[in-house]
Amino acid sequence: MIINKSRTKIKPLQDEDIPLFAQWLNKEYIYKWLCPDGEEQKEAWLDEVNNKSGKYDFLKHFIVYHNDKKIGYCLYADCFYLKDLEEEGHDFEDLYGDVTEKNQTYEIGYLIGEEEYLSKGIGKLIIQLLEEEIIGLGGHEIAADPSEENVISIKALLSNGFKKKGDGDYRKRITIKITEQ
């Protein structure tokens, strides 16, 4: 299978995608990183994606497509709002206490739900696609909080120019080059 960037797209997650997302979360190689605290954490993810109350409007969820096939999920969230989110096993205030303004730093998250698409460079592409979205919003920094044991995710971040700020805290400053036409 040949993967190229133009065949890989992200589109906003729709309600009809939630069962597929739940199925992906249940896969062992995903669950161990996204739900290390167990079922309550899985329920929290589903609650956030469902966003029935509108409380999680600042979380922007996407489905990753390759040639129109749904193969993964990703999100970004403005850390200004994220730092007030209380979640099992996560201290966002500790991580993003330095974020004092809206539209400054965005956290990203991602997964590939279909195993045959793993280790083909798509993880790195997803990070680039999220970066393009965040540039479009005028954000200045991207953040990710992988577990230090999640070597593949950390490699994908480092390959995309992220730098380690601390354990489980990786950041990338957005620098936009303006070229003369």
Ligand X SMILES: CC(C)(COP(=O)(O)OP(=O)(O)OC[C@H]1O[C@@H](n2cnc3c(N)ncnc32)[C@H](O)[C@@H]1OP(=O)(O)O)[C@@H](O)C(=O)NCCC(=O)NCCS
- Is residue 155 a contact residue for ligand X (CB under 6 A)? yes
Q: Kindly state the number of chain residues that form the binding site for ligand X, as judged by CB under 6 A.
A: 20
How near is the Cβ of 146 to ligand X at its closest, in Å? 4
Residues 50-69 that bind ligand X (CB under 6 A): none
> Rounded to 5 degrees, what angle do the CA atoms 72, 75, 78 make?
175
Stretch that binds ligand X, among 8-16, 99-107, 108-116, 161-169 (CB under 6 A): 108-116
- Is residue 123 a contact residue for ligand X (CB under 6 A)? yes
CB atoms within 10 A of CB 129: 19
| φ/ψ of residue 39, rounded to 5 | -60, -35
Nearest to 9 by CA among 65, 61, 62, 63: 65
Stretch that binds ligand X, among 13-21, 52-60, 80-88, 145-153 (CB under 6 A): 145-153
Strand partners, 60: 76
Contact, 174 vs 132, CB < 8 A? no
- Is residue 29 a contact residue for ligand X (CB under 6 A)? yes
Nearest to 1 by CA among 78, 71, 73: 71
- Is residue 150 a contact residue for ligand X (CB under 6 A)? yes
Q: 23, 38, 152, 165: which one contacts ligand X (CB under 6 A)?
A: 152
Give the residue with the Cβ less far from ligand X, 93 or 115.
115
